[in-house]
Structures are given as C-alpha cells and as structure tokens.
Homo-oligomer: A and B are copies of this chain.
C-alpha cells in the first residue's frame, strides 16, 4: 500500500516528476509558513493552503500525510534557520573573543525570534499535544544548542574562562547535579568543569526564557524596550559562565538577523534600535 517514493524517501530525485514534486512541496511549505506568520500554528489550515495554491483540498495529502507532518517540516526548517543564524553570528566573531561571541549569538537568536515570532513559538512554545516529535527534529534542534555549548567548551579548553565567582559562598555541587553535568560534559563539554557546565545550562535557559517572555507578552507593562535589557542580561549571564567581557570592536548587532533565508521581517523599525517589532506585529501576536 504505502509507497509515496518508498514512504517519503524520495526517488532517484532526477526526473521531471520528482522536480515537480520538490517544487510543489516547497510551495506548500512557503504558503504554510505565510499562513503561520499571519494566523499562528492553530490557524494553519491545510484546506486554506491548497486553496491558495489552487489545488484540490485532498491533493496536499500526497505531499504531507497529515497536518502534523506539515508542522514537523516547518519545525525542522525553523530549527535550522535559528541554528544557521547562530552559527553565522558566531562565525562572524573573532574566535578568541568569547564574550563577543556569546553576545553576538544571543543577539542573533533574539533577532531571528523577533523577526519570526510564530515560527519561534512553534518551536519554543507549548508543544502540540498528541504530536510526538519525530527524530527528524532532534538533529536540527541541537544546532543552536551546540553553538552555545561549543563556545563554552572552547573557552574552557583555552583557559579563557574567568573563574570569577566560583566558590563565592556557594556549596559544592550536589551529587545528583554532578551526575547530570558529567553526562552533559560527555555529550558536549569535554573540557568544561562541572560548575561551568551547570552555569552554561542556566545561561542557556535564561536566554530563551527571556526571548519567550518577550514574544509571549509577559513583559507587558513590565519592560517596554526589551533590547537593551536583553543585551545587558547577555553581559551578566556571560560573566556568570566566566566569559571575558566582549572586546570592543565593529560589532553593533552581532550578526543582526543572521540572514538565514527569509529577510529581517520587513523594513519599518528594522535596525533603528527601537525593538524590531512593528505595531502591526503587536496587534496580531501579542501578549497573553
């Protein structure tokens, strides 16, 4: 019964038919992404997508067996885009400038999130119940994480981390925490100490926690212009991890949008330092 190119395994890829298929698949994803940006994930309708593409409603199931599969594809793309933005920002820095790299990558991730709020929400917001994340997502998902982890590990390896606050009144790590940090060290931090691994996790969760709070509206009537506060928090968490402060240089924005595929989200208010979000964005993707 099921075949569809050996169950979505794609045929030899060459051939007129395969080209059409790849193209249409891309068009479907593009249109879906457009609707995602306009209405959010719950408002993404397969029928609306096919309607926009001028095809029968049942035709889309030849390309995506279910709505969840379409969402999965969008999730994978979003993860990849965030990862690419982070990697590009990291690469644009002097490798030894760990503080600058942390700052640049953090700013790039936030810039991408602000430019693509619904895709960010799709990935870092509440998971869709009943939808079990397939293995396809874990690879792209770890891309950003790995950029951050590598940064910490390289700094550890080079002895560039300031062991500033260590032993400043805090007790030694609990044995249960040690278990986790050891396992994590084997996974991505071969050179970092246990304390540094734990602090990296803290900085990591703070980074995304702050972005989520901003995009999900929890700063409503708390913080008006998030960017400067966000940048300050990068400084503070960077120091907590032990990074030396960013070197002064021609940074300013640290890779900005990252340029991962789609643009910065529209001209108005783009890089004037205000916030990146337009009024219209606020109108639709708002605050809880």
Contact = CB atoms under 8 A, between A and B. Distances in A.
Interface of A: 39-43, 75, 118, 121-130, 132-133, 137-138, 141, 145, 162, 164-165, 168-171, 173-174, 176-177, 179-180, 183-184, 187, 198-199, 201-202, 205-210, 212-213, 216-218, 220-225, 227-229, 231-233, 235-237, 239-240, 245, 284-288
A224 to B, nearest CB: 7
Determine which residue in A127, A130, A213, A220 has the highest number of CB atoms from chain B within 10 A of its CB, and name it. A127
Determine which residue in A171, A179, A236 has the highest number of CB atoms from chain B within 10 A of its CB, and name it. A236
B180 A225 contact: yes
A229 B175 CA distance: 10
For this chain, the copies found in one complex come to 2
A128 B40 contact: yes
A177 B230 CA distance: 9
Nearest to A283: B132
B42 A128 contact: yes
A176 B209 contact: no
